[in-house]
Amino acid sequence: MSYDIERIRANFPALRREQNGRPIVFFDNPAGTQVPRSVVEQMNDAMFYKNANLGGLFATSVAAEQLVDAAHRAGEMFVNAPRSGEVFFGQSMTTLTFGMARVICADFAPGDEIILTRMDHDANIAPWLMAAEDRGLVVRWLDFSEESFAFDLNDLAGLVTDRTRLIALNYASNVTGTINDVEGAGRIARACGAQLFVDAVQYAPHGLIDVAALGCDYLVCSAYKFFGPHYGMLWGRRDRLQALRAYKVRAVSDELPGRFTTGTTNREQLAGVHAAIDYIASLGDAYGHPAGPELRMRLAAGYEAMKAYEDGLTGRLIEGLLGIRGIRVLGITDPAEFRRRVSTVSFVADGIAPSQIASALSHEGIQVWHGHNYALEIYRKLGLANGGVRIGPVHYNTVEEIDRTLERVETVVRG
């Protein structure tokens, strides 16, 4: 079946919301996507019918345990984990990263080095900076080019020394939209024996993750960015996870993933994450050509269908923005290079504050973010104290929404 945008939109009750008699335009997606009905139904089902603690010998507990196991298996398939037990969940990507930074850096010695980037969200910077402060580590910074909005891996290779213990890198930027060469970074990390920690929060709504191919040690993402509930997910290489000290109560076994799951599992969130993964796979069934019935193949087809559609929206958005005098797009603009970017587009306009544009759009029911979006280093490097405006289309947005937004941006910029 060809891509049926109306059918897709019908799955998302939020998209029917109106402001001043017109449908609201959701372009705030990089800060959190809307949720299909199936996700909420599964969360309701967990609360209504699977609401018991785990480990009991009675039916409701067994059902809850099955739900939890199934969500972990789905999470493992979502990232293509080579071994079971390698995925666990937590409150958010930020919470998971703060926790993991502590235990990962616990055996680093004063003077050991870590590499952070100027393109990352602060959630993949601050936890490592604080761990570095605690342990006396040296922090080295990987810079990106202001022309290509990409890293040069030679720069990364140049930063590595025999004391490099960890590289923290994002898969896709929440501002520039650049998809980074994680595989290349993985080769450099392995060559020097360093660990690679990948923030895939902004990649997961747009592309299939394959930790086995990436060659990283850890990868984190957040389900509310890919049509699920507010819950974070972490994959770690089994040998790495097993070697870490887990802070847990004594009654919990030392097996993975339980050793990193403190307290009672949030199974309604797990039901929602599982349903979000199934939702992406269902797009593959409807609009792609899955190579087989397995979840992984259906996910690949789902992402392929989304990417093809999103690239069309991205192209139209960027072309429109570049056609407005005084606007600068902060990211890759050449459609031939779109395989290296997701659909998140940030821009600035000469002499007009990002907040002024976002506010004018908001009056028209068009939701976009402005400011630094927690990517402090990017805007510091670009010398843009007020940050930018970020428009983030996803697979449920439309060409009409792009045009309506461009029209309004043009009016504001022209004054």
Ligand X SMILES: Cc1ncc(COP(=O)(O)O)c(C=O)c1O
- Among 202, 261, 266, 367, the residue binding ligand X under the rule CB under 6 A is 202
195 is an interface residue for ligand X by CB under 6 A: no
Q: How far is the CB of 229 from ligand X (least distance, A)?
A: 11
346 is an interface residue for ligand X by CB under 6 A: no
The residue among 33 and 398 lying less far from ligand X, judged by its C-beta, is 33
- Among 174, 176, 314, 333, the residue binding ligand X under the rule CB under 6 A is 174
The residue among 64 and 382 lying less far from ligand X, judged by its C-beta, is 382
Q: In this chain, which stretch among 34-42, 145-153, 194-202, 294-302 interacts with ligand X, using CB under 6 A?
A: 194-202
Q: In this chain, which stretch among 88-96, 125-133, 153-161, 357-365 interacts with ligand X, using CB under 6 A?
A: 88-96
The residue among 180 and 405 lying less far from ligand X, judged by its C-beta, is 180
Q: Which residues contact 164 (CB under 8 A, 6 or more apart)?
A: 112, 113, 114, 115, 140, 192, 193, 194
Q: How far is the CB of 2 from ligand X (least distance, A)?
A: 31
Q: How far is the CB of 168 from ligand X (least distance, A)?
A: 11
93 is an interface residue for ligand X by CB under 6 A: yes
Q: How far is the CB of 49 from ligand X (least distance, A)?
A: 28
Q: How far is the CB of 92 from ligand X (least distance, A)?
A: 3
> CA 134, CA 185: separation in Å to the nearest integer?
26
Contact flags string 264-303 toward ligand X, x per CB under 6 A: ----------------------------------------
Q: In this chain, which stretch among 19-27, 34-42, 75-83, 196-204 interacts with ligand X, using CB under 6 A?
A: 196-204
> CA 356, CA 365: separation in Å to the nearest integer?
14
Q: In this chain, which stretch among 21-29, 89-97, 308-316, 393-401 interacts with ligand X, using CB under 6 A?
A: 89-97
The residue among 199 and 304 lying less far from ligand X, judged by its C-beta, is 199
The residue among 177 and 186 lying less far from ligand X, judged by its C-beta, is 177
94 is an interface residue for ligand X by CB under 6 A: yes
Q: How far is the CB of 222 from ligand X (least distance, A)?
A: 3
3-state secondary structure string, the chain? CCCCHHHHHHCCHHHHCEECCEECEECEHHHCCCCCHHHHHHHHHHHHHCCCCCCCCCHHHHHHHHHHHHHHHHHHHHHCCCCCCCEEEECCHHHHHHHHHHHHHHHCCCCCEEEEECCCCHHHCHHHHHHHHHHCCEEEEECECCCCCCECHHHHHHHCCCCEEEEEEECECCCCCEECCHHHHHHHHHHHCCEEEEECCCCCCCCCCCHHHHCCCEEEEEHHHCCCCCCEEEEECHHHHHHCCCCCCCCCCCCCCHHHCCCCCCHHHHHHHHHHHHHHHHHHHHHCCCCCCCHHHHHHHHHHHHHHHHHHHHHHHHHHHHCCCCEEECCCCCHHHHHHECCCEEEEECCECHHHHHHHHHHCCEECEEECCCCHHHHHHHCCCCCEEEEECCCCCCHHHHHHHHHHHHHHHHC
Q: In the structure encoding, which two tokens stand for residue 156, read together?
A: 């990364």
Of 11-50, binders to ligand X (CB under 6 A) are 31
* Residue pair 327/321 in contact by the 8 Å Cβ criterion: yes
Site for ligand X (CB under 6 A): how many residues? 14
- Among 28, 199, 217, 364, the residue binding ligand X under the rule CB under 6 A is 199
Contact flags string 210-239 toward ligand X, x per CB under 6 A: ------------x---------x-------
Of 113-132, binders to ligand X (CB under 6 A) are 121, 123-124
Q: In the structure encoding, which two tokens stand for residue 84, read together?
A: 């079971």
The residue among 99 and 257 lying less far from ligand X, judged by its C-beta, is 99
The residue among 100 and 295 lying less far from ligand X, judged by its C-beta, is 100
Q: What are phi and psi of 304, to 5 degrees?
A: -60, -45
Q: In the structure encoding, which two tokens stand for residue 222, read together?
A: 């957040």
170 is an interface residue for ligand X by CB under 6 A: yes
Q: In the structure encoding, which two tokens stand for residue 167, read together?
A: 């590289």
- Among 42, 92, 343, 367, the residue binding ligand X under the rule CB under 6 A is 92
Q: How far is the CB of 371 from ligand X (least distance, A)?
A: 12
Site residues for ligand X per CB under 6 A: 31, 92-94, 121, 123-124, 170, 174, 199, 201-202, 222, 232
